Structures are given as structure tokens and as C-alpha cells.
């Protein structure tokens, strides 16, 4: 029996990492440190005439996710949302939103950070970016644009599978 077991601690067989004797915590942890609007642009180039349009505007929404390492244990996830609305061939509004978050990692294997940053981080940021976008469109004089939820985890899996197929297809052609 080890000193740690006698002290009432749980051993590695339970999967719980314990602080080392020097006080260092070896348990894995990931968390959101901060989130913020990095860039926001709203254009309403045809106001006030666009408010007279009778047809509902067609809406085109584009997403992009990027990540940056900003410190040893800190990464930034950036969710870029571009929206273009047109009614009867006339631009109703254009919104460009770059919404970001800082995430801290401790004792996480390097190969596990990218999946978190490309799937889980955008999932955590999206509801807040969605609200900023809806408020911006509403403040521009249009009904709020409420984007449907996005399964970023599934998108990450699809992209990883496509990259794996592309890599195996080119390796066989060499």
C-alpha cells in the first residue's frame, strides 16, 4: 500500500490524476478563458430604399474556423461568419463577424488540442456569435437573423475523413 492510498487518495486504477508531491497538478484540463468580438462590420448600402422591398431577401451564410496558438497553454479559436442578404437583385445587408475565444489547456496531449479547437471550441462560441449577429441585423433595421445550430463536431469529422481520403488517394498515385 502506498502513502497516497493510506492518505485516502485514489490511485491510477480509478483514472484520477493526483497532484504530485511538489504540488503540480497532473490532471488534464481545458477551459474557456475569454471570448470577444474581434471584428464586426454591418453594411446597409441601399437604405432606405431596401425597406420598401416586398420580397423576402435570400440569405447566404459562410463560416470559417481558424485557430492560433497565443501561448504555451493558450490557444485562440476564431469563428468568422459572413452573411449577405439580397432582395430582388439588390443588396439588403452584409455582415462580417469575427468572434473569438481564448482557451487554456493543461496536461492535454498535443494531438488532442486540434480536435478540441476545431470542433468543441466553435460549439462553445457559436451561441454568443449568433446573438451578436442577430442583434446587429436587428439594429440595422431588419428582422433578427437567427442562425440554425451547427454540429461543428460532425463537420470536423467529415473534414478529417475527406483529408484522409485525399491523402490515401494521392499516396497510391505516386
Domain with residue 70: its CATH number is: 3.10.420.10
Of 76, 73, 85, the residue nearest 35 (C-alpha): 76
CB neighbourhood size of 29 (10 A): 12
pLDDT at residue number 9: 45
Q: Is residue 163 part of a domain?
A: no
* Structural domain includes residue 16: no
Q: For the ranges 15-24, 44-53, 98-107, 125-134, which has the lowest average pLDDT?
A: 15-24
pTM recorded for the entire structure: 0.78
Which residues does residue 120 pair with via DSSP β-bridges, in sequence order?
A: none
Domain ranges, residue 58: 28-145
3-state secondary structure of 162: helix
User: How many structural domains are present in the chain?
Assistant: 1
Asked if the structure places residue 152 within a domain, the reply is no
Please report how many Cα atoms fall inside a 13 Å half-sphere around the Cα of residue 57, on the Cβ side. 22
The answer to whether 86 and 56 have CB atoms below 8 angstroms apart is no
* 174 alpha-carbon distance from chain centroid: 36
The Cα–Cα gap between 46 and 20 comes to 64
Q: Please, what is the average pLDDT of the chain?
A: 85
Identify the helix (H) or strand (E) that includes residue 92: strand 90-106
Residue 80: inside a domain? yes
The pLDDT tens digits for 32-61 are 999 999 999 999 999 999 999 888 899 999
| In-domain check, residue 89 | yes
Amino acid at each position: 500500500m502506498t502513502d497516497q492510498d493510506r492518505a485516502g487518495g485514489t490511485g491510477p486504477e480509478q483514472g484520477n490524476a493526483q497532484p504530485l508531491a511538489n504540488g503540480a497538478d497532473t490532471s488534464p484540463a481545458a477551459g474557456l478563458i475569454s471570448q470577444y468580438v474581434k471584428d464586426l462590420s454591418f453594411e446597409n448600402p441601399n437604405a432606405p430604399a431596401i425597406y420598401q422591398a416586398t420580397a423576402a431577401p435570400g440569405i447566404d451564410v459562410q463560416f470559417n474556423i481558424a485557430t492560433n496558438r497565443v501561448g504555451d497553454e493558450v490557444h485562440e479559436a476564431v469563428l468568422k461568419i459572413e452573411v449577405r442578404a439580397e432582395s430582388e437583385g439588390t443588396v439588403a445587408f452584409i455582415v462580417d463577424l469575427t468572434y473569438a475565444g481564448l482557451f487554456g489547456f493543461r496536461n492535454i496531449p498535443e494531438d488532442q488540442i486540434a480536435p478540441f479547437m476545431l470542433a468543441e471550441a466553435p460549439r462553445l462560441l457559436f451561441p454568443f456569435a449568433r446573438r451578436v449577429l442577430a442583434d446587429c441585423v436587428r439594429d440595422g433595421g431588419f428582422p433578427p437573423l437567427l442562425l440554425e445550430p451547427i454540429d461543428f463536431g460532425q463537420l470536423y469529422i467529415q473534414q478529417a475523413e475527406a483529408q484522409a481520403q485525399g491523402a490515401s488517394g494521392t499516396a497510391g498515385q505516386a
